[in-house]
Amino acid sequence: MGDSGTTLPLRDESTPIGRATGSLRLSADDTLPGLAATFTYREGRLFLRDEGGASGVFVRLAAPAILGESDDFSIGDKLLRFLGKVPATPPATSGSTRLLGSARSGNGPLLRLQVMHLGGIPGRVFAKPGPIRIGRALGEILFADDPFVSARHCEIDLDPAGAILRDLGSSNGTFLRLPKGGERELRPGDTIRLGRNVFRLE
Q: Where do the structural domains in the chain lie, given as residue ranges?
A: 1-56+178-202, 61-87+107-173
Top pLDDT among 27 and 180 is at 180
Could you give the C-alpha distances from 98 to 90, 92, 94, in angstroms and in order?
11, 6, 6
Per DSSP, the three-state class of 115 is: strand
Q: What local confidence, expressed as pLDDT, does residue 10 receive?
A: 77
Q: What local confidence, expressed as pLDDT, does residue 1 receive?
A: 44
Residue 109 CA to residue 69 CA, distance in Å, equals 14
Q: 1-56+178-202 with 61-87+107-173: one CATH topology? A: yes
By CB atoms closer than 10 A (0-12, 13-18, 19+), residue 74 is buried
Q: Could you report the per-residue pLDDT of 81-139, keeping only the tens digit for each?
A: 999 998 877 666 667 787 777 776 667 889 999 999 998 899 999 999 999 999 999 99
Residue 155 CA to residue 196 CA, distance in Å, equals 23
Q: Which fold has domain 1-56+178-202?
A: Tumour Suppressor Smad4 (2.60.200)
Read off the pLDDT band of 31 (50, 70, 90): confident
- In CATH, the architecture of 61-87+107-173 is Sandwich (2.60)
Global pTM reads: 0.87
